[in-house]
Amino acid sequence: MGIEIERKFLVDAIQWQQLSKPVGTNFKQGYIVNDATKTIRIRVTDQYACLTFKGETLGFTRSEYEYTIPIEDGIEMLDKFAGPIIQKTRYCINFENKLWEVDVFSGDNEGLIVAEIELEQENEQFKLPHWVTQEVTGQEKYYNSNLSAHPFKEW
Protein backbone atom coordinates (compact mmCIF):
# COMPACT_ATOMS: atom_id res chain seq x y z
CA MET A 1 0.00 0.00 0.00
CA GLY A 2 1.22 3.53 -0.79
CA ILE A 3 1.58 5.76 2.26
CA GLU A 4 2.16 9.51 2.50
CA ILE A 5 3.40 11.10 5.74
CA GLU A 6 3.34 14.85 5.25
CA ARG A 7 3.52 18.06 7.29
CA LYS A 8 2.38 21.46 5.96
CA PHE A 9 3.46 24.97 6.88
CA LEU A 10 2.67 28.49 5.76
CA VAL A 11 5.48 30.49 4.17
CA ASP A 12 6.39 34.10 4.85
CA ALA A 13 5.85 35.82 1.48
CA ILE A 14 8.51 38.51 1.99
CA GLN A 15 11.22 36.04 2.99
CA TRP A 16 10.15 33.73 0.15
CA GLN A 17 10.50 36.51 -2.43
CA GLN A 18 14.02 37.25 -1.19
CA LEU A 19 15.09 33.60 -1.32
CA SER A 20 17.24 32.31 -4.19
CA LYS A 21 15.29 29.36 -5.60
CA PRO A 22 15.26 27.01 -8.57
CA VAL A 23 12.85 27.24 -11.48
CA GLY A 24 9.39 26.10 -10.45
CA THR A 25 6.98 23.70 -12.12
CA ASN A 26 3.50 24.93 -13.07
CA PHE A 27 0.66 22.65 -12.00
CA LYS A 28 -3.00 22.49 -12.90
CA GLN A 29 -5.04 20.06 -10.86
CA GLY A 30 -8.65 19.21 -10.24
CA TYR A 31 -10.65 16.65 -8.32
CA ILE A 32 -12.99 13.95 -9.62
CA VAL A 33 -13.88 12.79 -6.08
CA ASN A 34 -13.50 15.18 -3.18
CA ASP A 35 -14.84 14.18 0.22
CA ALA A 36 -13.53 13.80 3.77
CA THR A 37 -12.48 10.16 3.38
CA LYS A 38 -11.04 10.09 -0.14
CA THR A 39 -9.97 12.17 -3.11
CA ILE A 40 -9.19 11.37 -6.72
CA ARG A 41 -7.07 14.06 -8.36
CA ILE A 42 -5.83 14.79 -11.87
CA ARG A 43 -2.62 16.82 -12.12
CA VAL A 44 -1.04 18.18 -15.29
CA THR A 45 2.32 19.92 -15.79
CA ASP A 46 4.32 20.67 -18.95
CA GLN A 47 6.27 17.43 -18.39
CA TYR A 48 3.74 14.88 -17.12
CA ALA A 49 0.21 14.13 -15.96
CA CYS A 50 -0.93 11.84 -13.19
CA LEU A 51 -4.00 10.42 -11.53
CA THR A 52 -3.78 10.25 -7.72
CA PHE A 53 -5.97 8.46 -5.20
CA LYS A 54 -5.72 9.56 -1.55
CA GLY A 55 -7.41 8.15 1.53
CA GLU A 56 -8.49 9.76 4.78
CA THR A 57 -5.77 11.55 6.77
CA LEU A 58 -5.04 10.05 10.19
CA GLY A 59 -2.47 12.12 12.08
CA PHE A 60 0.07 13.05 9.40
CA THR A 61 -0.51 9.87 7.38
CA ARG A 62 -2.82 8.72 4.60
CA SER A 63 -2.85 6.17 1.84
CA GLU A 64 -1.76 7.45 -1.56
CA TYR A 65 -1.51 5.86 -5.00
CA GLU A 66 -0.23 7.86 -7.98
CA TYR A 67 -0.16 6.80 -11.63
CA THR A 68 1.39 8.59 -14.59
CA ILE A 69 -0.97 9.08 -17.53
CA PRO A 70 -0.46 10.66 -20.99
CA ILE A 71 -0.52 14.46 -20.82
CA GLU A 72 -3.24 14.67 -23.48
CA ASP A 73 -5.46 12.37 -21.38
CA GLY A 74 -4.78 14.45 -18.27
CA ILE A 75 -5.80 17.68 -20.01
CA GLU A 76 -8.96 16.08 -21.36
CA MET A 77 -9.83 14.56 -17.97
CA LEU A 78 -9.36 17.94 -16.26
CA ASP A 79 -11.76 19.50 -18.77
CA LYS A 80 -14.39 16.76 -18.68
CA PHE A 81 -14.38 15.34 -15.17
CA ALA A 82 -12.74 17.65 -12.63
CA GLY A 83 -14.30 20.37 -10.53
CA PRO A 84 -12.67 23.80 -10.12
CA ILE A 85 -9.02 23.85 -11.18
CA ILE A 86 -6.18 24.77 -8.82
CA GLN A 87 -3.18 26.54 -10.33
CA LYS A 88 0.15 26.75 -8.58
CA THR A 89 3.88 26.78 -9.11
CA ARG A 90 5.89 24.25 -7.13
CA TYR A 91 9.46 24.85 -6.05
CA CYS A 92 11.61 22.00 -4.70
CA ILE A 93 14.03 23.24 -2.05
CA ASN A 94 16.60 21.11 -0.22
CA PHE A 95 17.13 22.24 3.37
CA GLU A 96 19.11 20.30 5.98
CA ASN A 97 18.97 17.09 3.88
CA LYS A 98 15.20 17.26 3.49
CA LEU A 99 13.15 18.08 0.40
CA TRP A 100 10.62 20.87 0.86
CA GLU A 101 7.95 21.35 -1.80
CA VAL A 102 6.73 24.94 -1.79
CA ASP A 103 3.50 25.73 -3.61
CA VAL A 104 2.88 29.32 -4.68
CA PHE A 105 -0.78 29.45 -5.62
CA SER A 106 -2.30 31.59 -8.35
CA GLY A 107 -5.81 32.15 -9.66
CA ASP A 108 -8.46 32.01 -6.93
CA ASN A 109 -5.80 31.02 -4.36
CA GLU A 110 -3.37 33.84 -5.19
CA GLY A 111 -1.43 35.02 -2.13
CA LEU A 112 -1.25 31.61 -0.47
CA ILE A 113 2.15 29.93 -0.14
CA VAL A 114 2.37 26.50 1.50
CA ALA A 115 5.45 24.36 2.17
CA GLU A 116 5.21 20.59 2.57
CA ILE A 117 7.73 18.06 3.79
CA GLU A 118 7.26 14.32 3.35
CA LEU A 119 8.63 12.14 6.13
CA GLU A 120 9.57 8.49 6.56
CA GLN A 121 7.77 8.29 9.92
CA GLU A 122 5.40 10.54 11.87
CA ASN A 123 7.84 11.25 14.71
CA GLU A 124 10.79 12.05 12.42
CA GLN A 125 12.73 15.12 13.49
CA PHE A 126 13.60 17.93 11.04
CA LYS A 127 14.65 21.58 11.06
CA LEU A 128 12.42 24.38 9.80
CA PRO A 129 13.73 26.79 7.17
CA HIS A 130 13.68 30.46 8.22
CA TRP A 131 10.97 31.22 5.62
CA VAL A 132 8.50 28.76 7.18
CA THR A 133 5.98 30.14 9.68
CA GLN A 134 2.88 28.48 11.15
CA GLU A 135 2.24 24.75 10.88
CA VAL A 136 -1.12 23.98 9.23
CA THR A 137 -0.90 20.18 9.11
CA GLY A 138 -4.38 18.75 9.59
CA GLN A 139 -6.15 22.06 8.98
CA GLU A 140 -8.56 21.01 6.25
CA LYS A 141 -8.94 24.46 4.72
CA TYR A 142 -5.31 24.15 3.51
CA TYR A 143 -5.87 20.82 1.75
CA ASN A 144 -5.64 21.34 -2.00
CA SER A 145 -8.93 19.48 -2.36
CA ASN A 146 -10.61 22.08 -0.14
CA LEU A 147 -8.86 24.99 -1.86
CA SER A 148 -10.56 23.93 -5.10
CA ALA A 149 -14.01 24.20 -3.50
CA HIS A 150 -13.28 27.05 -1.03
CA PRO A 151 -10.46 29.15 -2.49
CA PHE A 152 -8.21 31.43 -0.48
CA LYS A 153 -9.77 34.58 -2.02
CA GLU A 154 -13.05 33.74 -0.23
CA TRP A 155 -11.58 33.49 3.29
Q: What is the mean pLDDT of residues 22-33?
A: 97
Q: What percent of the chain has pLDDT over 90?
A: 92
57: confidence class by pLDDT, cuts 50, 70, 90: confident
CATH number belonging to domain 3-154 = 2.40.320.10
* Catalytic one of 31, 65, 67, 143: 31
Evaluate the CA torsion angle 50, 118, 114, 58 in order and state its sign. positive
Summarised one tens digit per residue, pLDDT across range 131-150 is 999 999 999 999 999 999 99
Give the strand pairing for 61-69 and 3-11.
antiparallel
Summarised one tens digit per residue, pLDDT across range 89-109 is 999 999 999 999 999 999 999
1: confidence class by pLDDT, cuts 50, 70, 90: low
> Is 65 in the active site?
no
